[in-house]
Amino acid sequence: MLLLLDLDNTLLDRAGAFALWAERFAAEFALGDGAVAWIVAADRNGHTPRPELAAAIVSHWQLELEPAALVERLVYEHVDTIAVYDGVAERLHRLADSGVVLVIVTNGPVEQQSRKIRRTGIDERMLGTVISEAVGVKKPERGIFDAAFELAGGAHPETWMVGDDVVNDMHGGRALGLRTGWVSHGAAWTESWRPTVAAETPAEVLDLIAGSGHPRHA
């Protein structure tokens, strides 16, 4: 079995780390009530380009701060508090011990994503990591998955894409005929098709995969 694993909000609690950063930033500049919620919403789980988010924050509160300097903070400061989700490391160890091949497949800058991995040690049992900036293509495009297959010596008969993002992870994996494990974080599934397995937390999704006998997703 080959597991392709998303990083942010799948293995690592990026949302929690960014919310904590927003709290500290709002306190630093005395931004007032509602500031944290505004920043978190504007961030869109990291999908808003950092220069765009920095400019929006500076403009919204008329801060005497260069947007370029804020970009650097947005990219790196939340990394200092990022953590592995409860139960994930233990389950990855068990899967690796049983012969499952694990590969991280993540969108983002090489330095930022590498810092997250170094801080948490989440790659201890991974065969390797594929980062979009390094290969020049992002999920859900096929090229980043092909890079992961090359790292793993080819696509395995039973290959999964595990992640929280419906478009990048679930649609990306499904387009290649992979089994899909969706980490919902309590969100409702709204597509016309279903992922192979789904659960609220990454630990639960990994448990479902470990015990699965599901047919290949059509």
Q: Can you tell me the distance from the alpha carbon of 199 to that of 7, in angstroms, rounded to the nearest whole number? A: 17
pLDDT digits (tens, 9 = 90+) for 87-119: 999 999 999 999 999 999 999 999 999 999 999
Residue spans of alpha helices (H) in the chain: 14-28, 35-43, 50-61, 67-76, 88-97, 110-120, 132-135, 142-151, 172-175, 202-210
pLDDT tier, 217 (very low <50, low <70, confident <90, very high otherwise): very low
CATH assignment of 2-13+84-210, among 3.40.50.2000, 3.30.465.10, 1.20.1250.20, 3.40.50.1000? 3.40.50.1000
Tell me if 4 sits within 8 A of 105, measured CB to CB.
yes
Which pair of tokens denotes residue 69?
Answer: 């300097």
pLDDT digits (tens, 9 = 90+) for 40-83: 999 999 999 999 999 999 999 999 999 999 999 999 999 999 99
pLDDT at 214 over 70: no
Q: Can you tell me the distance from the alpha carbon of 212 to that of 200, in angstroms, rounded to the nearest whole number? A: 17
pLDDT tier, 1 (very low <50, low <70, confident <90, very high otherwise): very high
Q: Can you tell me the distance from the alpha carbon of 41 to that of 61, in angstroms, rounded to the nearest whole number? A: 15
Domain limits, CATH 3.40.50.1000, in the chain: 2-13+84-210
Q: What pLDDT does residue 157 have? A: 87
